[in-house]
């Protein structure tokens, strides 16, 4: 009898442990000024079933549209996209409860920050409306220092409406953390900066830059899993430019379109990611398309179109693939929801799970293991 009871308790503990192992924290950054949002939301997400549960949220945080989580999972950093009053905020993060404790905020040193990254030493943001990149140090308690460096981009682009001045749209660490790449939509350039995390005032130093086709409007990029290739998503052209990459230098290899031949409407490519196994690439297109394209990745870096799906909402601003590769989640800025798709790991195709998170103006999705 005692042995049976012991076995029963052991099985219960094993099942509970396995269930908890499937659970991830899903953090969602939102816009707060056009509907009822508290700022940053935290959900439990089950990477086996696609189920989710609300855990916690901030209070009165203005437009935390993009987020990053520290490597130790103890801190969250967010941009506060608010025109000339834009800031960057830091929070202490309780992984188990999902509670976020505000630490401090600093002026973003530019208008409308739209992307943020961090490592053990620094937090770096791209300010869209002013075309600047700002670097903030990390204090011992996880808060951020005043800006240690600000870089201003210059020039104008081909599109007089969207490229009337520089528009820094993304900053991104190279896989070896030796470089920070920065896309500027306004001037059709990708900059490569050598990264010196311990410097007091010259953390980023220009290494190289490369221009894309005039009017393309580079928005986001992603590295291949082996670090040899870069895939650049061009917002205005609705295309993906493929580069080879080595030691901070990019060389163009080819280009793929997200636009079907019979498409008539507004183009607005938004986000790009690669599956955890490195075999498939996904890219979204907003505008009037509101779809997501799937590509197979070959060893030589080339892409082959696989499928195109509706994202089942309007304004697919950002999407994320969970670490297991089972699910792909799309945040819709205008229909106020996060739609959950299941991924076929063999062919990369997506199917609707009929599950979605209803939330005011979601913009950024970030998974964090507990």
- Residue 320 placed within a domain: yes
What is the side-by-side strand order in the sheet with 122-127? 113-118, 122-127, 132-138, 144-152
Band (pLDDT 50/70/90 cuts) for residue 17 is very low
pLDDT of residue 339 exceeding 50: yes
Choosing from 257, 290, 321, the residue where a domain stops is: 257
For residues 297 and 306, give the distance between their C-alpha atoms in angstroms, rounded to a whole number.
10
Choosing from 224, 257, 290, the residue where a domain stops is: 257
- Residue 104 placed within a domain: no
pLDDT of residue 15: 45
Structural domain of 315: 262-370
CATH number of the domain at 289, please.
2.130.10.10
pLDDT of residue 13: 47
Band (pLDDT 50/70/90 cuts) for residue 6 is low
Band (pLDDT 50/70/90 cuts) for residue 2 is low
Band (pLDDT 50/70/90 cuts) for residue 281 is very high
pLDDT of residue 300: 97
- Residue 142 placed within a domain: no
What six digits make up the tokens of 335? 């229909």
Q: How many domains does the chain have?
A: 2
- Segment 289-311 shows an average pLDDT of 97
pLDDT of residue 39 exceeding 60: yes
Per-residue pLDDT tens for 71-117?
999 999 999 999 999 999 999 999 999 999 999 999 999 999 999 99
313 and 368 in a single domain? The answer is yes
- Segment 13-29 shows an average pLDDT of 72
274 and 234 in a single domain? The answer is no
- Segment 143-172 shows an average pLDDT of 97
Choosing from 233, 257, 281, the residue where a domain stops is: 257
pLDDT of residue 1 exceeding 60: no
pLDDT of residue 370: 86
Band (pLDDT 50/70/90 cuts) for residue 20 is low
- Residue 359 placed within a domain: yes
252 and 292 in a single domain? The answer is no
**Which residues 6+ apart lie within 8 Å of 340 measured at CB?**
50, 52, 327, 328, 329, 353, 355, 356, 357
245 and 332 in a single domain? The answer is no
Band (pLDDT 50/70/90 cuts) for residue 262 is confident
pLDDT of residue 261: 84
239 and 311 in a single domain? The answer is no
Q: Among residues of the chain, what percentage have pLDDT more than 70?
A: 94
pLDDT of residue 5 exceeding 70: no
- Residue 125 placed within a domain: no
pLDDT of residue 260: 86
pLDDT of residue 16 exceeding 70: no
- Residue 282 placed within a domain: yes
DSSP string for residues in 281-294: EEEEE-TTT-EEEE
pLDDT of residue 3: 58
The model carries a pTM of: 0.94
341 and 308 in a single domain? The answer is yes
pLDDT of residue 159 exceeding 80: yes
- Residue 368 placed within a domain: yes
Q: Are 196 and 203 in contact (CB under 8 A)?
A: yes
CA distances from 321 to 228, 234, 253, 343, 347 (A): 21, 20, 26, 9, 15
DSSP string for residues in 140-203: TTS-EEEEEEEEE-----S-TTT-SS--EEEEEE-TTSSEEEEEETTTTEEEEEEE-TT-SS-S
209 and 185 in a single domain? The answer is yes
pLDDT of residue 212: 97
301 and 332 in a single domain? The answer is yes
- Residue 221 placed within a domain: yes
Strand partners, 351: 342
């Amino acid at each position: 009898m005692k042995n049976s009871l012991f076995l029963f308790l052991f099985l219960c503990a094993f099942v509970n442990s396995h269930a908890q192992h499937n659970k991830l924290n899903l953090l969602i950054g939102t816009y707060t000024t056009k509907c009822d949002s508290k700022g940053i939301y935290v959900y439990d997400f089950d990477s086996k079933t696609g189920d989710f549960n609300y855990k916690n949220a901030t209070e009165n945080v203005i437009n935390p549209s993009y987020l990053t989580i520290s490597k130790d999972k103890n801190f969250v950093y967010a941009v506060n996209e608010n025109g000339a009053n834009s800031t960057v905020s830091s929070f202490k993060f309780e992984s188990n409860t999902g509670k976020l404790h505000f630490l401090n905020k600093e002026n973003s040193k530019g208008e409308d920050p739209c992307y943020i990254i961090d490592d053990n030493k620094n937090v770096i943001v791209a300010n869209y409306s002013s075309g600047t990149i700002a670097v903030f140090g990390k204090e011992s308690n996880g808060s951020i220092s005043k800006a240690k460096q600000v870089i201003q981009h210059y020039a104008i682009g081909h599109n007089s409406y969207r490229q009337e001045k520089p528009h820094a749209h993304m900053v991104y660490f190279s896989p070896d953390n030796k470089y920070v790449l920065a896309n500027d939509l306004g001037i059709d350039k990708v900059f490569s900066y050598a990264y010196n995390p311990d410097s007091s005032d010259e953390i980023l130093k220009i290494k190289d830059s490369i221009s894309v086709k005039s009017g393309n409007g580079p928005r986001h990029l992603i590295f291949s899993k082996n670090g040899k290739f870069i895939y650049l998503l061009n917002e205005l052209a609705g295309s993906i430019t493929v580069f080879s990459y080595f030691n901070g230098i990019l060389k163009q290899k080819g280009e793929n379109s997200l636009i079907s031949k019979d498409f008539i409407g507004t183009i607005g490519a938004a986000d790009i990611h690669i599956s955890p196994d490195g075999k498939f690439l996904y890219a979204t297109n907003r505008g009037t398309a509101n779809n997501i394209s799937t590509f197979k990745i070959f060893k030589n870096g080339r892409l082959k179109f696989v499928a195109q799906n509706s994202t089942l909402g309007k304004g697919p601003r950002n999407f994320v693939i969970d670490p297991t590769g089972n699910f792909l989640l799309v945040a819709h800025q205008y229909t106020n929801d996060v739609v959950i798709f299941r991924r076929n790991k063999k062919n990369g195709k997506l199917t609707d799970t009929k599950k979605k998170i209803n939330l005011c103006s979601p913009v950024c999705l970030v998974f964090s293991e507990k």
